[in-house]
């Protein structure tokens, strides 16, 4: 098939998840054009220079705990860059030149590729982690509601041939019939599959993505880490620090080094993004989560704390980090019927789209 694959570019979670999908499509003989933005553009340009790729620009959506912030979205200068419109039409021209018309468009939360599906009258399939909030009555978490995700998804993806949501937890809430969504197991890249966690005593991985919105500065976190001289903290961040405690190492973004660190750590401290939580669960790695103030990360953190695979807090303190580190053996031994023990969502999805297009 002639397939357009659109990948959201905010953070590396979407790119990491779509890497095995791209590899699976290519291995099955499909011709793929990538539609990407921001960090996904960097990721796929570096790792797959042989795959045709078009860079596009997507709207920057601002949110409130109860939905979208329309005025802030309208005022964001990034939504009015002159290159935005031209990039869209150049990408369409590439697709027309190579495919005439695509047989299928797959979108991982990328609204530009969805618009291309409608423009070319091609079937659209969505694969992300957010669609479960559109297709199921997953409840509010404190003041946070799924309204933001439902508004985004119904606005940018109003029509789809099929919707898939990968999830590290089994959704048991009632389905919403207006938007049928199929839940599939979590997706793990080939660079993680088969690896084991063999921790170096006292080593902790810390990951702060470039999109992090946590309520503490890096300097505040470093002050907390300095109170634990018997532990070593490997911090993956783009930030720099004027004063670095002797038990902290700042590491630049490197997928290979980051995975090595995860596999050799006793725990991970991070935000509550879906992809890294999935990798930590695969490695049976206890988590201290610092979720963003929006619904998806609050849900993810709620599930992990409820199932006792770690803890979550808006702030990292000496007291709550000490409690977490003292409980690491109990977290490592946890098992849960609500969480998946197989991570083959890529195979499930690839087989499903072959069936849908027969």
pLDDT of residue 211: 58
Sign of CA dihedral 318, 323, 326, 331: negative
pLDDT of residue 244: 93
Q: How far apart are CA 339 and CA 320, in angstroms?
A: 25
Domain boundaries, the chain: 2-188+343-356, 203-332
Kindly give the confidence (pLDDT) of every residue in the chain, 358 residues in length, as a single tens digit, with 9 standing for 90 and above: 999 999 998 877 889 899 999 999 999 999 999 999 988 999 999 999 999 999 999 988 888 877 889 999 999 999 988 888 999 999 999 999 999 999 999 999 999 999 999 999 999 999 999 999 999 999 999 999 999 899 999 999 999 999 999 999 999 999 999 999 999 999 998 889 999 999 999 999 999 876 567 778 889 999 999 999 999 999 999 888 888 999 999 998 788 999 999 999 999 999 999 999 999 999 999 999 999 888 999 999 999 999 999 999 999 999 999 999 999 999 998 888 899 989 999 999 999 998 876 6
pLDDT of residue 210: 60
pLDDT of residue 217: 87
pLDDT of residue 358: 64
- Domain 2-188+343-356 matches domain 203-332 at the CATH topology level: yes
Sign of CA dihedral 17, 21, 22, 27: positive
> 3-class secondary structure for the chain?
CEEEEEECCCCCHHHHHHHHHHHHHHHCCCEEEEEECHHHHHHHHHHCCCCEEEECCCCCCCEECCEECHHHHHHCHHHHCCHHHHHHHHHHHHHHHHHCCCCEEEEECCHHHHHHHHHHCCCEEEEECCCHHHHECCCCECCECCHHHHHHHHHHCCCCCEEEEECCECCCCCECCCCCCEEECCECCCCCCCCCCCCCCCEEEEECCCCCCCCCCHHHHHHHHHCCCCCEEEEECCCCCCCCCCCEEEECCCHHHHHHHHHCCCEEEECCCHHHHHHHHHCCCCEEECCCCCHHHHHHHHHHHHCCCEEECCCCCHHHHHHHHHCHHHHHCCCCCCECCCCEHHHHHHHHHHHHCC
Q: How far apart are CA 56 and CA 248, in angstroms?
A: 38
For 203-332, CATH gives 3.40.50.2000
Whether domain 2-188+343-356 has CATH 3.40.1800.10: the reply is: no
């Amino acid at each position: 098939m002639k397939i357009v694959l659109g990948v959201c570019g905010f953070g590396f979670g979407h790119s990491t998840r779509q890497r095995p999908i791209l590899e699976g499509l290519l291995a099955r003989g499909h011709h793929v054009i990538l539609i990407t933005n921001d960090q996904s553009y960097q990721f796929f340009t570096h790792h797959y220079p042989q795959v045709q790729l078009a860079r596009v620009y997507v709207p920057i959506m601002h949110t409130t705990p109860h939905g979208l912030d329309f005025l802030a979205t309208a005022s964001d200068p990034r939504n009015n860059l002159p290159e935005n419109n031209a990039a869209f039409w150049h990408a369409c021209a590439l697709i027309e030149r190579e495919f005439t018309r695509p047989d299928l468009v797959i979108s991982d939360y990328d609204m530009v590729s969805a618009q291309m599906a409608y423009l070319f009258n091609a079937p659209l399939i969505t694969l992300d982690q957010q669609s479960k909030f559109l297709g199921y009555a997953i409840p509010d978490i404190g003041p946070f509601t799924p309204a933001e995700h439902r508004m985004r998804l119904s606005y940018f993806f109003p029509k789809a041939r099929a919707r898939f949501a990968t999830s590290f937890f089994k959704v048991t809430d009632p389905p919403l019939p207006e938007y049928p969504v199929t839940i599939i197991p979590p997706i793990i890249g080939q660079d993680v599959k088969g690896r084991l966690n063999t921790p170096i005593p006292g080593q902790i991985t810390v990951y702060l993505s470039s999109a992090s919105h946590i309520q503490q500065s890096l300097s505040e976190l470093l002050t907390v880490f300095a109170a634990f001289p018997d532990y070593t903290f490997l911090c993956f961040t783009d930030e720099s620090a004027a004063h670095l405690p002797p038990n902290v190492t700042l590491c630049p973004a490197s997928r290979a080094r980051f995975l090595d660190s995860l596999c050799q750590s006793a725990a991970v401290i991070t935000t509550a993004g879906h992809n890294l939580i999935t990798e930590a669960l695969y490695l049976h790695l206890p988590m201290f989560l610092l979720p963003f103030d929006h619904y998806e990360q609050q849900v993810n953190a709620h599930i992990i704390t409820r199932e006792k695979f770690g803890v979550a807090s808006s702030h990292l303190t000496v007291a709550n980090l000490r409690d977490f580190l003292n409980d690491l053996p109990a977290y490592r031994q946890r098992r849960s019927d609500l969480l998946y023990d197989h991570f083959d969502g890529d195979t499930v999805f690839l087989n499903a789209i072959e069936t849908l297009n027969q």
